[in-house]
Amino acid sequence: MAITLNVAVTAQFGFGRSATQSTEPLQTIIPVKFDPATGGIAVGSTLYNGANPGFHVLAVSRQLNPAHLNAPDILLDQTYNDAASVTNALKAIQQTYTNPTAMVMVNAVGNYGIPLSTVAAALTHFGAYPDLQGINAAPPFIFIGTGGANAQTALQRGVSTRELDGYLAPDSNGYYAFLQTDFVHYDIGLGGTITIGKTTHKSVDAAYKPGCDASASDSLHLLVVDRESPDVVLADNVYCTGQHPELLGSMAIDVSGIGAENQLVFIATNGHPVQADSNFGTNGDVRAPLARQMARLGGYFETVVYLTPSDTYSLIGAPPPVAGTPNARDRAREGSSVYPDKPSGELHGVLARSRGNWYSPLNADTSGLANLGLYDILAQPPTPFPHPVGSDELAAFQYINNALCGATTCNVRNDYNNAAINIGTTYQTPLQGMTKDQSGNDCTDKNNAGLPYCVVRQQLLSEFIDVSNIRALYGNMSELWLASGSTSILSLLSTYNDVKATIPVVATAQSPSLVRPLVSFFLGLAGNIPVVGPAFGLADTAFNLGMDLTTDPKGNRTVDLTSTIGQMQDTAIDHFKAQANSTGTMFALIYQDWGKIDALGSALLSSKDASSPWSWKPGSTTSLMLNNMEPAVKQAAYQSLLGAAYAIGRYLPQTGGSCFGNAAPVWGQTPLYNQPWGYGVLDADFRGCNLGATPVVQPFNSTAAGYIPYTYPTDSTNPYVNDARTGTIMADFSWLAISLQTSPYSGGPNGVYNPPGATLLSTLFTPVSQGGLGVYRPAFFEGWPFPHFDCAPSFGVRSPNNGTYVGGCDWTSGKPPVSLPPPGPTSVSIRATHVSSDQSQAQVLLTLHNNGSVPANAIEITSLSLRTLVGSGEATVVSPSLPAVFNSLAPGDSTDVMVTINIPAGIRKLQIMEQGTADLGQPEPTRFSDGEVIYPGK
C-alpha cells in the first residue's frame, strides 16, 4: 500500500466561535482530545475522524508554523486495519521527518485486528515500551510519541476506554510536546482522612473495619482507587491495629492482593497504629510482612518496621512496573514521624499523569503549608470567554479593539502574553476613560450596566486587572531563576563545587540529573519557613511544568538524561535557564482561557494581604525561598555525585559460627539491630582468631570494635541510636551498605569494610534542625542512582588460590558507566556565580568555564552590555576594561573576573549581557554569551 505524507492545513478557530469573530485569543497551546469510541483525535477545533474498528494514525509536525500558531501541520491522517500498512506508515514518517522529528498519535478502537506485537518494533522508534512486544491481542490503544525519542518515554495506554486529553505546547526548543495538566489535589491527614480531588474519605466511613470502635481509632486506613480515574473507589478498608496487632498480618495479606499497576493506594493513620506494648526486643518483627508490602508499593520497608507506638505513617503508591521502567520510584511518596526532624506524618500534594496515563504523586509537602492552588487552576477544563455574545456585543468588542489597537480586526486578548505591551497603560487606563458607547450612553450610570457596550467594557476591564496581577506572579517566579539580590537558582548551583570537593569523583563518570532531585526536594522545604511556605507550592508548579517542557531536540525530557560529573553543573544551569523560558508556556495557557484567568486573577486579588496563601512579595519572598534552598541543592548534589565514588552492596544474612563456635542470629530474629551478625564470611586470612580456627568475619563491621548499626531516632532500644558512624541500613531480607569503589574485595584492615567517613555521614544524615542535610536514609540507600550489586555468599565460594572460603563485596562492580569526552570542541561558558550590590554599585563575579575536551586559548570577553528592565536611568561598566583577555583554560578548568557596575538610583532591575570569543582550534573563533538580571539594593 502506498503511503502518502502531506501537509494539511485546516482552518482553526477558538472554542465555540466562528472563524470571523476572532474574539477568543489565539489558542497557541493547542487542546488535544482522543475519543476512545470512534477513534477520532481532535487537535484544536479540528476533528480528525478515525473509524471503529480501526487503527487511526495521526502524525503532526513538531515545528510550529507562524502562519497558524493555533494548529500544527498535519503530516499523515490515516486509519488502517493491517499491521504491514501501519509499519510502513511509521517507517516513512520516521525516515522523512528528522529535523525536527514528527509526533505520532495513535487511537485504535474496536476490533481493529492488529496485534500490538506486530507493530511494536515500528513504535519503538517513537518511544514505545518494550512490553508491547508481548501483547498478541488488539485491545483499545492510545499512543503519543516523537520520532527518535528514547525507549519508554511515550504516552502509551492500553485496554482503557476513557477519554484522554491534553495539549500541544512549545517545549524549550520551540517544538511541540504533549502536555497534560489535569492534576488532582490530594491530602492525607492525621485523623485517617484521605481527600482526593473534591472527595473526602474518612476512616469512620470505611466499608470494611473489623474489630474497630466507633471512631476507628489507632488504625491504618487503606484506600484503593482506579489509577486513571481516582474518583473510582476499588477498596476502602480500616484496620484497627493499635488494639488488634494481629490485623497487621491481615492487612499485609489484603495489600498483597493489589497486583495491578492500574491501582493507586493511599494509606493514612488515625491515631497510633502500633500497639502500646510494642518493643524491638520481643516482637519488633510483627510489622515485617506489612513493611514488605509497603516496599512493594514504592514505600520503604525500614519505615514501617521501625514504627513505634507514638509514630504515624502515610503512603501513596502503586504496584511495581515492569523491570527496567525508568524512574519507577516516582509512583510513590511516603510520610512518617519516623523521619528525621519528626514531621507529623501527613502528606499533601498533587497527582499527575505518568506512565500509562496513570496518576502518580508529583510531589509531597509534609507541612500542609504549600499553596497548591495553581495546580488546581491549571487542571480546570477550558472555558470560553463569556463576552461578547451576539451581534451587538460583537460590534462593541470590535469598536473597543479599534480604539485600543487601531484596527477592528485586532484582538487585545492576543496581547495578554506579550510582555512588550504594558496592559495597564496601553489598554486598561484608556478603556477606563471610554465610559460612553457610540450612542452616548454612559456606563458609569448603573442603569446602563446591561447595555452591550458596557457589558463588554466591564468584561475587558476585569480581564486587564486579572492579567496585570498574573503578570506580577510570573515576574516573581522568574526571579527564582534570574536573581534576587545576590542569590538565584543559578548561583546556588555553585554549591555543587563545594560538594564535589569532598568526594573523590572521576569527571568522566556518568551521573543522573542534578535538577530532578532538587525539584523533588523543593516542596518539602515549605515547612521550614512558614512565613512564605505557601509560595513554595506556586513555585513548585512552575518547576514541574518546566521539567516537562525542557527537552532535547528529539523530545526527551533533559531531566531524565544522564551527563558526566564534569558536565553536570553546566547541564543543570542550562536546564534551569531553559526551564525559566518554558515557564512562559504555562502562563500562555492561562492567558488563552477565561476560566483560568478568572480563577487565578481572583485569587491574586488577595495577594497584597501578607496572610494570603497567594502572597508573594517581590524580592523578600523570593530571597527567603532561595536562602532556604541551599540544603536542598546540597542534598541533590550529594545524591547525584556519590554514585561516582561509592557503591551500594547488598548482603543476605545467614547463620554462621564465630571463631569460638557461637551461633549468630538469623534473619528476622530480634532485636533488629543485632541482625547483621547473622551474615558471616569464612576467611582464613583474617587473623582475629586462634591458630587453626576458620574465622567468621562480619564484612559490614565499620570498626574492629564492632558494628555500628542504624535504626531510627525513635528506636530507644538500640544502644547505638544516632551514632554518627552509621553506614548501613536494614532493608527487606538484606542489609545495604555503602563503601568506596576502591575498597578491597574482602574488606579493609582486619576484615572490616570502608564506609564513608564520619564527617560525611554526619553531614548527610543529621537532621536539618541540627545543622545537617537530613537525608532520609532508606531513600538514600534504596534510591541510589545506579543499581545495587549482591555481595558474595557467606559460604561455598572457594578461592582457587589459597583454598579458603572467601566472601565479600566487589565494590568496583558498582561503578557507573564512564563516558568518553566528545570528539571535538564544544564551548566556553560564562555566568555570574555571585552578585553583590547596593543602590549605586554592583559587583558581579563572572566565571568562565571550559566545558569542552580541548584547551581554550586566547579567551576574550569582548562585550558587557547593560539594559534597564525596571526603573529609569542608564548603568555603566566601571571595570574591567575591554576586551578582557585570558591566556588559556584546560578542559574542565575555570577562571574568574570581577565586573563593577555603576547604577543610577532610579534603576530597580538591570540586565547584564556578556559576550566573548575563544580559540578552540577551529578556523574561526568560537563565540560564547550569557546574561543575568540583578536587583540593585537587594
> What is the phi/psi pair of residue 858, to 5°?
50, 50
Q: What is the mean pLDDT of the chain?
A: 83
Residue 737 confidence (pLDDT)? 83
Strands of 894-902's sheet in order across: 828-837, 841-850, 894-902, 876-879
Residue 316 confidence (pLDDT)? 98
> What is the phi/psi pair of residue 584, to 5°?
-60, -30
Q: Could you tell me which of 730, 514, 563, 742 has the C-alpha nearest to residue 647?
A: 742
- Run of H or E residues at 858: strand 856-871
Report how far residue 349's alpha carbon sits from residue 360's, in angstroms, rounded to the nearest whole number: 11
Reported confidence tier of residue 704, pLDDT bands at 50, 70, 90: very low
Q: Name the residue with cell 514504627.
A: 307
Higher-pLDDT residue of 375 and 670 is: 375
Bridge partner residues of 145 (DSSP): 104
Report how far residue 57's alpha carbon sits from residue 50's, in angstroms, rounded to the nearest whole number: 8
Q: What is the pLDDT of residues 754-796, one digit of tens each?
A: 778 778 887 888 878 788 888 888 888 888 888 888 876 544 3
Residue 720 confidence (pLDDT)? 60
Grid cell digits, residue 328: 519507577
Reported confidence tier of residue 697, pLDDT bands at 50, 70, 90: low
Q: Could you tell me which of 766, 911, 897 has the C-alpha nearest to residue 844?
A: 897
Asked if 50 and 39 count as a contact pair (C-beta separation under 8 A), the reply is yes
pTM here is 0.84
Lowest mean pLDDT of 47-56, 353-362, 631-640, 846-855, name the range.
846-855
Higher-pLDDT residue of 718 and 553 is: 553
Tell whether the model's pLDDT for residue 695 goes beyond 70.
no
Report how far residue 412's alpha carbon sits from residue 874's, in angstroms, rounded to the nearest whole number: 32
Lowest mean pLDDT of 124-138, 340-354, 478-492, name the range.
478-492
Q: What is the pLDDT of residues 180-190, one digit of tens each?
A: 999 999 999 99
Reported confidence tier of residue 234, pLDDT bands at 50, 70, 90: very high
Asked if 73 and 114 count as a contact pair (C-beta separation under 8 A), the reply is no
Q: Could you tell me which of 727, 670, 685, 476 has the C-alpha nearest to residue 583?
A: 476
Q: Is 352 helix (H, G, I), strand (E, B) or coil?
A: strand
Tell whether the model's pLDDT for residue 209 goes beyond 80.
yes
Q: What is the pLDDT of residues 43-89, one digit of tens each?
A: 999 999 999 999 999 999 999 999 999 999 999 999 999 999 999 99
Q: Could you tell me which of 725, 789, 794, 792 has the C-alpha nearest to residue 761?
A: 725
Q: What is the pLDDT of residues 575-620, one digit of tens each?
A: 888 888 788 899 999 999 999 999 999 999 988 888 899 999 888 8
Average pLDDT over every residue of 693-714: 51
Grid cell digits, residue 380: 480546570
Lowest mean pLDDT of 18-27, 141-150, 247-256, name the range.
18-27
Higher-pLDDT residue of 456 and 558 is: 456
Q: Could you tell me which of 181, 180, 178, 182 has the C-alpha nearest to residue 555?
A: 178
Asked if 641 and 565 count as a contact pair (C-beta separation under 8 A), the reply is yes
Reported confidence tier of residue 170, pLDDT bands at 50, 70, 90: very high
Tell whether the model's pLDDT for residue 846 goes beyond 70.
yes
Q: What is the pLDDT of residues 376-393, one digit of tens each?
A: 999 999 999 999 999 999
Nearest-5° Cα angle at 909, 879 to 480 = 105
Tell whether the model's pLDDT for residue 484 goes beyond 70.
no
Nearest-5° Cα angle at 283, 279 to 288 = 110
Q: What is the DSSP annotation of 361-391? A: E---BSSS-S--HHHHHHTSPP-------HH
Q: What is the pLDDT of residues 363-373, one digit of tens each?
A: 999 999 999 99
Q: What is the pLDDT of residues 891-931, one digit of tens each?
A: 767 788 888 888 888 787 777 878 888 888 877 788 777 76
Reported confidence tier of residue 348, pLDDT bands at 50, 70, 90: very high
Reported confidence tier of residue 685, pLDDT bands at 50, 70, 90: very low
Residue 16 confidence (pLDDT)? 32
Percentage above 90 pLDDT, the chain: 47
Write the CA distances from 602 to 49, 414, 573, 594, 795, integer angstroms. Answer: 39, 20, 34, 12, 69
Tell whether the model's pLDDT for residue 356 goes beyond 80.
yes
Residue 839 confidence (pLDDT)? 63
Q: Could you tell me which of 355, 201, 213, 208 has the C-alpha nearest to residue 268?
A: 201
Q: What is the pLDDT of residues 139-159, one digit of tens each?
A: 999 999 999 999 999 999 999
State the angle between helix axes of 515-522 and 565-591 in degrees (0 to 180), rounded to the nearest 10.
50
Phi-psi region of 796 (alpha: psi -120 to 50; beta: other; left: phi over 0): left
DSSP code at position 555: S
Asked if 794 and 695 count as a contact pair (C-beta separation under 8 A), the reply is no
Asked if 616 and 474 count as a contact pair (C-beta separation under 8 A), the reply is no
Q: Name the residue with cell 482506579.
A: 226
Tell whether the model's pLDDT for residue 531 goes beyond 70.
yes
Q: What is the pLDDT of residues 785-800, one digit of tens each?
A: 888 888 765 443 333 3
Radius of gyration from C-alpha coordinates of the chain: 31
At 841, which amino acid appears?
A: Q
- Run of H or E residues at 252: helix 247-256
Residue 90 confidence (pLDDT)? 97
Burial of 691 (0-12, 13-18, 19+ CB in 10 A): exposed
Reported confidence tier of residue 666, pLDDT bands at 50, 70, 90: very low
Report how far residue 350's alpha carbon sits from residue 372's, in angstroms, rounded to the nearest whole number: 8
